[in-house]
A = this chain, B = another copy of it.
Amino acid sequence: MPRSSGPVDSPARLSLISRHLGPNYPLNTPYTVERHPDNIDTSLLPKTQTRALTTDANPSAKMSTQPEHPTLLIPGPIEFDDAVLNSMSHYSESHVGPAFVNVFGETLSMLRKLFQTTDSSAQPFVLSGSGTLGWDLVAANLIEPGEDALVLSTGYFGDGFADCLKVYGANVTQISAEPGSRPQLPEIEKALSEKKYKLLTVTHVDTSTGVLSELKNLSELVHRVSPDTLVIVDGVCSVACEEIDFDAWKLDGVVTASQKAIGCPAGLSISMFSGRAIQAFQNRQTPPTSYFASMKNWLPIMQNYEAKKPSYFATPSPQLVRALHTALTQIVAQGVRERFAAHKAASDKIKAAIAALGLKQVAANPDDQAHGMTAIYLPENVKGAELLPKLGARGVVFAGGIHKAIAAKYIRFGHMGVSVLDPSRGHVEKAIKALEEGLSECGYQKA
A132 to B, closest residue via Cβ = B314
Q: Is A297 an interface residue (CB 8 A)?
A: yes
- Residues of A111-155 whose CB lies within 8 A of B: 127-133, 135-136, 139
Least CB distance, A153 to chain B, in whole angstroms? 16
Counting chain B CB atoms within 10 Å of each CB, the highest count among A168, A309, A319 belongs to: A319
Question: Which residues of the partner chain B approach A93 to less than 8 Å between Cβ atoms?
Answer: 45, 69-70, 72, 77
Q: Is A249 an interface residue (CB 8 A)?
A: no
Q: Is A14 an interface residue (CB 8 A)?
A: yes
* Main SS at interface, chain A: loop
Can you list, as one digit per residue, whether each of A6-50 has a CB less than 8 Å from chain B (1) or not (0)?
A: 000010001001101100010011111100010010100100000
Q: Is A296 an interface residue (CB 8 A)?
A: yes
* A309-B91 in contact (CB<8A): no
Chain B interface: which of A79-87, A185-193, A364-372?
A79-87
* B85-A42 in contact (CB<8A): no
Question: Which residues of the partner chain B approach A406 to less than 8 Å between Cβ atoms?
Answer: none
Q: Is A179 an interface residue (CB 8 A)?
A: no
Number of interface residues of A (CB under 8 A): 87
* B167-A300 in contact (CB<8A): no
* B98-A72 in contact (CB<8A): no
- Residues of A88-125 whose CB lies within 8 A of B: 88-99
* B300-A97 in contact (CB<8A): no
Q: Is A304 an interface residue (CB 8 A)?
A: yes
Question: Which residues of the partner chain B approach A72 to less than 8 Å between Cβ atoms?
Answer: 92-94
Q: Is A66 an interface residue (CB 8 A)?
A: yes
- Residues of A311-350 whose CB lies within 8 A of B: 311-320
Least CB distance, A155 to chain B, in whole angstroms? 14
A287 to B, closest residue via Cβ = B167
* A310-B266 in contact (CB<8A): no
* B316-A96 in contact (CB<8A): no
Question: Which residues of the partner chain B approach A86 to less than 8 Å between Cβ atoms?
Answer: 89
Least CB distance, A424 to chain B, in whole angstroms? 17
Question: Which residues of the partner chain B approach A89 to less than 8 Å between Cβ atoms?
Answer: 85-86, 88-89
Question: Which residues of the partner chain B approach A85 to less than 8 Å between Cβ atoms?
Answer: 89-91
Partner of A32, one of B40, B297, B300, B312: B312
Question: Which residues of the partner chain B approach A132 to less than 8 Å between Cβ atoms?
Answer: 291-292, 313-315
Partner of A29, one of B31, B40, B96, B293: B96
Q: Is A210 an interface residue (CB 8 A)?
A: no
With contact pairs A69-B93, A88-B88 given, residues A136 and B290 touching in the complex (Cβ less than 8 Å): yes
A66 to B, closest residue via Cβ = B91
Question: Which residues of the partner chain B approach A316 to less than 8 Å between Cβ atoms?
Answer: 130, 266
Question: Which residues of the partner chain B approach A76 to less than 8 Å between Cβ atoms?
Answer: 315
A sample of 5 more A-B contacts (CB under 8 A), given A14-B297, A17-B313, A70-B93, is A29-B311, A31-B315, A33-B94, A89-B89, A266-B319
Can you list 15 residue pairs at the A/B interface with Cβ under 8 Å?
Answer: A25-B310, A29-B96, A29-B310, A32-B310, A67-B91, A70-B93, A79-B92, A94-B399, A130-B314, A132-B291, A164-B292, A168-B289, A257-B315, A290-B290, A292-B292
